[in-house]
Structure 1
Amino acid sequence: MDITLPGKGGRSTRYRLVGQPAQPVIGARFSRIAYAAAHVVADPLDMTDPRSRPAVDWERTMAFRHHLWRLGFSIAEAMDTSQRGMGFDWANARELIRRSIAEARTVPGADLASGAGTDHLAPGAARDPDDVIAAYEEQFGFIEGLGGKAIMMASRALAAVAKGPEDYVNVYDRILRQASGKVILHWLGDMFDPALRGYWGSSDFEAALDTVVAIIERHAGKVEGIKISLLDADKEIALRNRLPEGVVMFTGDDFNYPELIAGDGERHSHALLGIFDAIAPVANAALAKLANGDRAGYDALMAPTVPLSRKIFEVPTEYYKAGIVFTAWLNGHQQHFSMVGGMQSARGIRHYADVFRLADQAGLLANPELAIARMKSLCAVSGL
């Protein structure tokens, strides 16, 4: 099977598919905690104004969560992969969290954690850290009131009002003391969200590291783990090596995840990854091999997913969501390639052509005939 795809310099090229669709292991048990940060499926027929009034296809959105649970993944709900802070507001996130928690209760063994942030504050509305604390309290209260587990997302509002590390310490101390259950923290780098530059009160990594480690050490009994998304394996390992006993590292490094998850023989990272949304069938099979002690088999499956992930998460990194939804569309998990806020337009046709090729090479086109038909339709709309 082959297809004409756009190439460099405005030229088109023929591409012959080479991948074999992945064969996931249903019922596999993993030796790592594996959270997939899941996307939402928009409803284009109900989006009269996509940029100001998001509309969600709840049936397809919940069906995709069942797809991830069936493959053995935990779900990180209402995170940046669902476009929190990029078109998907707290009102919709509340409904997403409510539905997902209820849905998880219908699936034996299903695990779900939900993002608690401060994104319902209007830009500039926070005057001081107390306003940030109140905003976190509202979202934590909603999630924990439903019996859910909270992921404490990084806050744009806190980054805007904090005068130094002590303000971060104050906010995190207050929220962690009040949390009813264990919390996952999230260190999101400014490559994902420029508004988070200087998070933890410093642009110097070592200083920021000292601040976050001190917070975790004071609240080790309340912190399940921390997800770090800096796209730098050395920085993740530096934090991982300083975590107190019982607190786990969740890699959020969509560039270096295979080796971080596998570990160095002494320490390893668990995972909370947006790329798992797109590579779930292969990651399932790879994690099953790792759990069975087959490191070579794990590496062989994971290695081809890395070029795909690096393409999806290329600069400007915050638009990675478009590649995630694109792969879901290619694989039949939704009937259209439309996104909340019209974000599918954030990447160009050559980017999508590269993602198509790399998804094929990683064994991630479950139905090649369907994927070709859909890619041809996108190329036609783009003038090819």
Structure 2
Amino acid sequence: MKYLEEFQNPELARRLLDDIRATVTRPWALMEVCGGQTHTIIRHGIDQLLPEGIELIHGPGCPVCVTPLEVIDKALEIAARPEVIFCSFGDMLRVPGSDRDLFRVRGEGGDVRVVYSPLDALRIAQENPQREVVFFGIGFETTAPPNAMTVHQARKLGIGNFSMLVSHVRVPPAISAIMESPHCRVQGFLAAGHVCSVMGTEEYPELAERYRVPIVVTGFEPLDILEGVRRTVRQLERGEHTVENAYPRAVREEGNAAARAMLEDVFEVTDRAWRGIGVIPASGWRLSERYREQDAEHRFDVAAITTREPAACRSGEVLQGLLKPHECEAFGTLCTPRTPLGATMVSSEGACAAYYLYRRLGVPAVSLEASPVG
């Protein structure tokens, strides 16, 4: 597959690491804002190969992980209703709510179905006009356009039994929240390339200037990550704080015009709660007034459901970069993929899942010669 093997080349990785070592003169703390990037970093040991003092902090970049507990509970309430066919991507089924998950609801008789596209849910609604079909729409700017298009299509085609439970979040306000935290240690960001392929980079220069931090748009393969680190460290060493696009094969400054137009038509910006973090102003989307009839939260009257996070789960600290997964007392004991306390342990992009999958129970040193890159 194009852009796979060539971006995992060990020799090129060594050259980038040598360049980073030659550039760095002091410690720096960088945050990647994408769960996919986190998994690449842990799987290939990139954080262990960097020069001592260069720390990669795992940010709130997993869309499943940041979906708040109360939204999960709303999904469970809707999915358990006999008139509903509840459709979701598979990674949401194991995410724990207050007392169960979607797998449990399905085992108890709920009609919960895994789909691979929101359009699959729309087709199910067409085939089952006597049932209410609900799609669980979560994620960052990357998954929002197809979800918006599906709602638009449902309205256009007059499919009245289709609705969407929406929990979409936006990256730029999260960066602001991170930088304004009294515990913030982040000095530079690796921005998520797939988000910027949709939205472009226009929102980032203001953030870079306001907080005086470099922001480098980065891809997802090992060499992408290393190039992002190299550019970020170079800026930090020079005292610069600008936006750089290190992922030009997929990202343009203006983003995807058609996708952005669809988002503006279907969604409106709203305050949004992030699991383990709290409410971040203007950090999410909800269906606009024009599409309110397709809003499952209103259709099934579950807006009033509120919940508390379990005290034993420290995923909020992990999502804010305040804690590495293996530093949580419950990691690998009370909290495992089979018995998760939080979404960060079961999501395919969760930091806790990455540490468990790749056996990061501690952080041993790794030499370049033993590098798993490639």
TM-score when normalising by structure 1: 0.29
